[in-house]
Structure 1
């Protein structure tokens, strides 16, 4: 049983180290410079912890009992808080004014490792409570991302279990403790990857919900009418929706706005999310082509307007129009006078 647990922990350790690089690329692509920087720092810390866990579980190295390991543990909670708080609280923080969050790290250099490790998890529990209250404050917006919020709740529960594990580490054999801790970190990486695969725009949507909750707008200095005209120009004349890789950051760059501003602009002025807006643009173009190009295949039209696969095209078309592309074409061809 112990070997099975250790093997599972080692497997998740490897996954989390590899996945950390992919998540770092995602952060650089989707986020501001500060968010990308903090994401990189957090992923580097977690990767280092997992490498030390791996060394102990596979080769019996004692780095997990070192001050370096405890320093890394003390850095996880404040780094994660500084990364997530601006999204959840709709505020922009200056890192220079928040340096004091890392003061507890010095405890790892002063206290004996046996004391410092559980204390690191106690400190983490304080940050966890604060973030839990922030998530609870967004409850009025939960209808916008129910499944995504479920993923966040799962990660929150996992974090609670990790805190309990860390606080009670003296009651658990080292092999069991570090196996469970490594598996928990790996499980966190699995959850994050799954949530972002299902909802890649989740960070932006959460920030948007937070701004609505706290009545904070990013459009104060933006000419919204002019921006909407520019958006319409990009979609109708330049047909940017045809780009399968089009995402919020690339559209924001084309408009000369931040992705938070574009997201809020579409949400507040058009009453829909960016992903919904993009699907509607592609479906409208597909509807015209289904009628105007009767010899073109349905799949060919779907790919031409920017959908990455037939399943995505059919799902979006049925969601917006209420029927399949083939049914729409047949219905409208019948209505055309001969």
Structure 2
């Protein structure tokens, strides 16, 4: 191995290792953990696994094939992690919709089942000829979907139309993913060309270290917060907050928005024509609730009305009807708000009506 290859190996391996560390940090240790940081952590972990596999496999052709299988399988998750990081950041999504969970569950199921039934160690030709191309096609589809989500930011960047620092870094992460994909796709379809194979690893390392530098430069604030600190410090008057809350309550009751199980803070803010950050501030500072608690209060209120009306629904069906995603979340929210279980509440209603 010549000196140049040693340098490439060092930076590629170091970037993959630090990506793993940073991915774990965003998943479990980040001070402002949210859905966006969760998917960013997943993205960094998946990319680090894929790049780490590539670096070590290039310099060690005898690397056990299970590591090659893990590296290729990680590509299956890079795309959705990128897309949902971008969507959750732009839309300030608080809770992952069921459609996101289903897609990720399906992809994980495919990885596990395929890995067990058709392991790379036994069927390397099938993996290299067919599975790898399928994996890269899925990855490309998610990159295209991510680019569609960023179309406005890309247009603003091209026209130099007031693009925020956080938005530029979201675009940088997207661009780095595109370059990583292109470098590996070229290696897949045209052979392991020296420059292209390591281009993705080096770009990943550069963006990774830039993220770390920016993070500490900003004083450990969320580097991808779209709301500037000036906006965060903005105060709203009591009268304005009261008017917004009243308008929001009326809208929730008239249109029953709470019945949408995938309702997001961004969608609700759009309905009342204010920013998601301002809505969150109003709910917390003037309503005494966060977004989830506010929505769940309407859901539980509607569930109680259905029980009182003696609707012919099971408790689980009532939970789904009022907007909960599962029986467990319905029961937990009901107990927190009513200090009793739905079953006990319903039984108490039955005893009262009997008299």
User: Aligning the two structures, in what range does the TM-score lie when normalised by the shorter sequence?
Assistant: 0.5 to 0.7
Aligned with 2:192 (options 57, 60, 82): 60
Q: Is the 8 A contact 1:303 1:309 kept in 2?
A: yes
1:78-100, Cα deviation, whole Å (9 max, x unpaired): xxxxxxxxxxxxxxxxxxxxxxx
> 1:187-336 counterparts in 2 under 5 A?
216-217=233-234, 219=236, 223-336=240-353
Using structure 1 for the length normalisation, give the TM-score: 0.54
Q: Is the 8 A contact 1:10 1:57 kept in 2?
A: no
Q: Residue 250 of structure 2: SS of its match in structure 1?
A: helix
Q: Is 1:42 aligned to 2:173, yes or no?
A: yes
Alignment RMSD (CA, Å):
3.9
> 1:157-168 counterparts in 2 under 5 A?
none
1:239-272, Cα deviation, whole Å (9 max, x unpaired): 2212223221111111010111111100110111
1:46-89, Cα deviation, whole Å (9 max, x unpaired): 24225425655894222357778756654x25xxxxxxxxxxxx
Q: Is the 8 A contact 1:282 1:305 kept in 2?
A: yes
Q: Residue 255 of structure 2: SS of its match in structure 1?
A: coil
Q: Is the 8 A contact 1:24 1:36 kept in 2?
A: no
Report the CA distance shift for 1:228/1:42 in structure 2 as closer, same or farther (over 3 A). Answer: same
The offset of 1:2, in angstroms, is 4.4
1:255 & 1:10 partners in 2: Cα distance?
Answer: 45
Q: Residue 261 of structure 2: SS of its match in structure 1?
A: coil
Answer 1 or 2: higher relative contact order, Cα 8 Å, separation at least 6: 1
Report the CA distance shift for 1:301/1:61 in structure 2 as closer, same or farther (over 3 A). Answer: same
2:81 & 2:220 partners in 1: Cα distance?
Answer: 29
1:283 & 1:233 partners in 2: Cα distance?
Answer: 17
Q: Is 1:10 aligned to 2:72, yes or no?
A: yes
The offset of 1:24, in angstroms, is 3.5
Q: Is the 8 A contact 1:49 1:69 kept in 2?
A: yes
Q: Is the 8 A contact 2:183 2:197 kept in 1?
A: no
2:68 & 2:185 partners in 1: Cα distance?
Answer: 10
1:300 & 1:314 partners in 2: Cα distance?
Answer: 12
Report the CA distance shift for 1:203/1:239 in structure 2 as closer, same or farther (over 3 A). Answer: farther
How many residue pairs end up in the alignment? 223
Q: Residue 220 of structure 2: SS of its match in structure 1?
A: helix
2:296 & 2:225 partners in 1: Cα distance?
Answer: 19
Q: Is the 8 A contact 1:318 1:324 kept in 2?
A: yes
Q: Is the 8 A contact 2:315 2:342 kept in 1?
A: yes
Q: Residue 134 of structure 1: SS of its match in structure 2?
A: coil
Q: Is the 8 A contact 1:56 1:63 kept in 2?
A: no
Report the CA distance shift for 1:216/1:285 in structure 2 as closer, same or farther (over 3 A). Answer: same
Using structure 2 for the length normalisation, give the TM-score: 0.51
Q: Which moved more, 1:246-255 or 1:124-133?
A: 124-133
2:81 & 2:212 partners in 1: Cα distance?
Answer: 25
Report the CA distance shift for 1:261/1:218 in structure 2 as closer, same or farther (over 3 A). Answer: farther
Q: Is the 8 A contact 1:56 1:64 kept in 2?
A: yes
